[in-house]
Structure 1
Amino acid sequence: MSPIRYKQLDVFAARHGGGNPLGVVIDAQGWSDERMQRFAHWTNLVETTFLLPARAEGADYRARIFTPSKEIPFAGHPTIGSAHAALDAGLITPDAAGVVWQECGAGVLPILVEGTGPARELFVQAPKATVVGDASKGGECLSSVLYGVALGALQPACVEGGRRWWVAEFADEAALRGWRPDHATIRKLAVATDTLGLCVFARTAEGLAVRAFPAGVGIVEDPASGAANGLIAAYVATHDHTGALAKGYVVSQGREVGHDARIIIRIDGGHVWVGGRTNTIIDGVVDWRDA
């Protein structure tokens, strides 16, 4: 049996160890759903992805994304990390426009490749996002979580696009970074509204500071959230389309949990691109056998 290649990555990192970890099984053809899920549970990473030959027309490869407990259709850092791994493994090459096409549960998504080597940055076009509820839909749970918080210009909303999150703007960066939320109530909010949880953000000199609490999938705080930042960007682009953030900005995330993520947002013609740099931390093979 040929060795099965495996990489462990640091996605959206401003420095090594500052981003969101991701496991990628490069050669997952022939793996059953149960085998993938069992391996993802064992890695105990936020997500683990499995690369396969494409099935959809126009796609260069296919990525399946698993949390430790279930498969999900889309997430930002697994998408960027999977493309990084596929490029490094020689599975794909960008087209003349510098784009690779990844098939996942959210469809076939373009990923723009800029630069080479350690300086390479990848940008995924986030799925189209729509507002599916205002603050009133969050009920007492949302009101309780945000009680006493000075909110910013944009009102809280539930936004969907590949994933579904509550988003809320804080008026002050220092208040955002020092906030100690009620995680149990965020969990209740996520369950009651069928969302991942709550993302909060505040404006900074570079763009936004973001914190994400995906209690709906059992995570207290996420250090780097590509999909969530795509939803925030879409919400900002729709409701603040003439402001300083209208064409894009830089996100700082994860410092409150010992990380240092740098996520780059571009907004172009109504499309949101989410990107940044990825570091390969572990590059080897995996020996994972069926029970």
Structure 2
Amino acid sequence: MLPFRQVDVFSAEPWLGNPLAVVHDADALTDDQMAAFARWTNLSETTFLCAPTDPRADYRVRIWTTGGELPFAGHPTIGSAHAWLEAGGEPRGEVVVQECGAGLVDVRRSPRLGFAAPPPRRSGPVEPDLRARVVRGLGISHAAVEDMAWVDNGPGWVGVDLGTAQAVVDVTPDLAAFTDLKVCVLGRWDDQSAEDLGTDIEVRAFYADGSDFGEDPVTGSANAGLAQWLIGMGALPDSYVARQGSVIGRDGRVHVEAVDGEVWVSGDAVTRISGTVDL
């Protein structure tokens, strides 16, 4: 039996964030065991905490979806750091240092848990044929797209700027056209709406693997990639709050801040289930 937690990430209010399954002391588990449990939880990600192999790291995390392992993902980083600290983990320094497939990721603890966005694996313009597929998959017109770029920091995201938050809320994806796309979209609320809602930006993230389609409740990696792209272009301010999940009954809040050229993505994390699991 191994210690287990299920953490609600990017929300302090119950059941409004993105749930993450976390298995502690997972060094002895095989890839097949991890994959099977990730499929069984049927969450967007399940993580397994292991001893670090890099002496600079405080712990190592392996991040699994129902379809395979990821080198990096955002809400699993915050949720895993929360679970590790709650279980008694003591970082060596001011920040928690996570080891994952993408390398070392710093996780700060104040004012809330947040990770330093890893360098993009792919950035820049989207190829014309892929751009056309993304437009079809989102069910929008080419004219509706203000900008589009690769914002891939591990999962494979393409970012789309739709200008306004309402345009983001109004997206109705064409499931048949989505195939194997991973697309995150962003738009801005006007000043009055931002004040009323307590958020500046609306984000949605869609993914497909050819046989399955989903909308992610709240996505740290997508928000990180979008921020690196658009803050760097001057199209977003250095500090803002993004909302995600409102269309599917969630209400996640992602706090984004650029400091000395580095993007930090932060959010609340609360354990909702704890116990043991027999793997």
CA RMSD between the two structures? 1.9
* Residue aligning to 2:276: 285
Sort the Cα spacing of 1:169 and 1:112 in 2 relative to 1 into closer, same or farther, 3 A. same
* 1:200 is aligned to 2:185: yes
Q: 2:91 aligns with which of 73, 90, 93?
A: 93
Shift of 1:92: 2.6
Range 82-91 or range 9-18, more displaced = 9-18
Q: 1:235 aligns with which of 208, 212, 229?
A: 229
Letter of the 1:162 counterpart: G
Counterpart-to-counterpart distance in 2, 1:62 and 1:37: 17
* Residue aligning to 2:258: 267
For the Cα contact (< 8 Å) 1:14–1:260, is it kept in 2? no
Matches within 5 A, 1:22-33: 22-33=20-31
Counterpart-to-counterpart distance in 1, 2:27 and 2:132: 47
What TM-score do you get using the length of structure 2 for normalisation? 0.89
Counterpart-to-counterpart distance in 2, 1:267 and 1:148: 32
Counterpart-to-counterpart distance in 1, 2:135 and 2:70: 28
Counterpart-to-counterpart distance in 2, 1:31 and 1:71: 14
* Residue aligning to 1:108: 104
Shift of 1:71: 1.1
Counterpart-to-counterpart distance in 1, 2:68 and 2:53: 21
Range 222-231 or range 11-20, more displaced = 11-20
Matches within 5 A, 1:31-46: 31-46=29-44
Sort the Cα spacing of 1:255 and 1:26 in 2 relative to 1 into closer, same or farther, 3 A. same
The count of corresponding residues between Structure 1 and Structure 2 is 268
Query: Helix, strand or coil: the match of 1:199?
Result: strand
For the Cα contact (< 8 Å) 2:140–2:171, is it kept in 1? no
Sort the Cα spacing of 1:267 and 1:139 in 2 relative to 1 into closer, same or farther, 3 A. closer
* Residue aligning to 2:244: 253
Counterpart-to-counterpart distance in 2, 1:277 and 1:140: 36
Counterpart-to-counterpart distance in 2, 1:77 and 1:283: 18
Query: Helix, strand or coil: the match of 1:175?
Result: helix
Matches within 5 A, 1:47-196: 47-93=45-91, 95=93, 97=94, 99-114=95-110, 121-129=112-120, 130-134=122-126, 136-145=128-137, 147-148=140-141, 151=144, 154-188=146-180, 190=181
For the Cα contact (< 8 Å) 1:135–1:142, is it kept in 2? no
Identical-pair percentage: 39
For the Cα contact (< 8 Å) 2:58–2:92, is it kept in 1? no
Letter of the 1:275 counterpart: S
Shift of 1:137: 4.7
* Residue aligning to 2:220: 226
Q: Deviations 1:107-162 (Å, cap 9, x if unpaired)?
A: 011000015xxxxx20101111252433625253134245337536x511122222
Sort the Cα spacing of 1:69 and 1:164 in 2 relative to 1 into closer, same or farther, 3 A. closer
Q: Deviations 1:169-210 (Å, cap 9, x if unpaired)?
A: 12322232122121221225x2xxxxxx11111112332100
Counterpart-to-counterpart distance in 2, 1:75 and 1:233: 15
Shift of 1:249: 0.8
| Uncovered stretches (5+) of structure 1, i.e. residues with no partner | 116-120, 191-196
For the Cα contact (< 8 Å) 1:186–1:198, is it kept in 2? no
Sort the Cα spacing of 1:161 and 1:27 in 2 relative to 1 into closer, same or farther, 3 A. same
Shift of 1:58: 0.3
Shift of 1:268: 1.4
Counterpart-to-counterpart distance in 2, 1:15 and 1:284: 21
* Residue aligning to 2:204: 211
Counterpart-to-counterpart distance in 2, 1:57 and 1:151: 48
Counterpart-to-counterpart distance in 2, 1:20 and 1:233: 19
What TM-score do you get using the length of structure 1 for normalisation? 0.86
Counterpart-to-counterpart distance in 1, 2:252 and 2:85: 22
Counterpart-to-counterpart distance in 2, 1:92 and 1:219: 39
Range 47-56 or range 136-145, more displaced = 136-145
Q: Deviations 1:19-49 (Å, cap 9, x if unpaired)?
A: 1111000111211111111111111111110
